[in-house]
Structure 1
Amino acid sequence: MIADKEGYTVTTDEEGYLVDPAHWDEHVAQQLAWQEQLELNDEHWQVFRFMRAYYAEHQIAPDARFTIRFLADQLGYGRKAQNHLFKLFPYGYVKQACKIAGMKRPRAWSTG
């Protein structure tokens, strides 16, 4: 469990993923990133905004390939997008990007 910006407790599962993605906000993301020992920059926030918008539309976390496509097309990384995603989230897309963006843990994916 962690506290949101209002001081309310936000419930996480045993692996640290939010139980309810609706409880996510930037303060929660900062706390989750701190737990992952990850210092966030503007590109992290752009990825999180993309992931949250995708989640709002589809009610599921975006597959890594969609986030890689976002990095390639929208942020201009082209063919280097996949490597850049793992530079931003060195312990993996599911372990760090999905967790910090407030997604439930994708159960059908690998932990990479």
Structure 2
Amino acid sequence: MPVTTLDGHQVHVNDEGFLTDPAEWDEDLAQALAAQIGLTLTDEHWAAIRFLRQDYADRGETATLRRISAVGGIPVKQLFVLFPQKPAKKMAYVAGLPKPQGCV
């Protein structure tokens, strides 16, 4: 796996730029990842990211939009506002998790 440096962090990534080791992630890195895709993280972003990371730790796979909405309590429309165009993919990227199953 390629290694890249983001904001002073050396991390392992796949060919799409997703972290391959979620343990390399921290909140400072999340800020840098978000900036790369044009996002400034707010408390609402952090709520989604923290849910996603906890759910991944519990289940071993990245949650889909439907799960984030149903279990995390964040409406899908709001996820599209927070993470425009491809919210599941962008959330996983910023959260340092694998791209969700079925995400292109």
TM-score bucket (shorter structure): 0.7 to 0.9
- Tell me what 1:62 maps to: 63
Structural mapping, 1:63-78, within 5 Å = 63-69=64-70, 70-72=72-74
TM-score by length of 2: 0.85
Structure 1 position 9, deviation (Å) = 0.5
| Aligned partners of 1:2 and 1:12 also within 8 Å | no
1:88 equivalent in alignment to 2:82:
yes
* Sequence identity percentage: 38
The letter for the 2-side match of 1:2 is T
SS in 2 for 1:10: strand
SS in 2 for 1:71: coil
SS in 2 for 1:31: helix
The letter for the 2-side match of 1:102 is G
Gaps of 5+ in 1: 73-80
1:104 equivalent in alignment to 2:98:
yes
Cα RMSD (Å): 1.6
SS in 1 for 2:73: helix
Mapped to 1, the partners of 2:89 and 2:5 lie a distance apart of: 17
TM-score by length of 1: 0.79
Mapped to 2, the partners of 1:31 and 1:91 lie a distance apart of: 19
Structure 1 position 63, deviation (Å) = 1.7
Shift of the 8–96 alpha-carbon distance from structure 1 to 2, 3 Å rule, reads closer
Query: How many residues in Structure 1 have an aligned counterpart in Structure 2?
Result: 100
Mapped to 2, the partners of 1:3 and 1:95 lie a distance apart of: 19
Mapped to 2, the partners of 1:104 and 1:66 lie a distance apart of: 16
Gaps of 5+ in 2: none
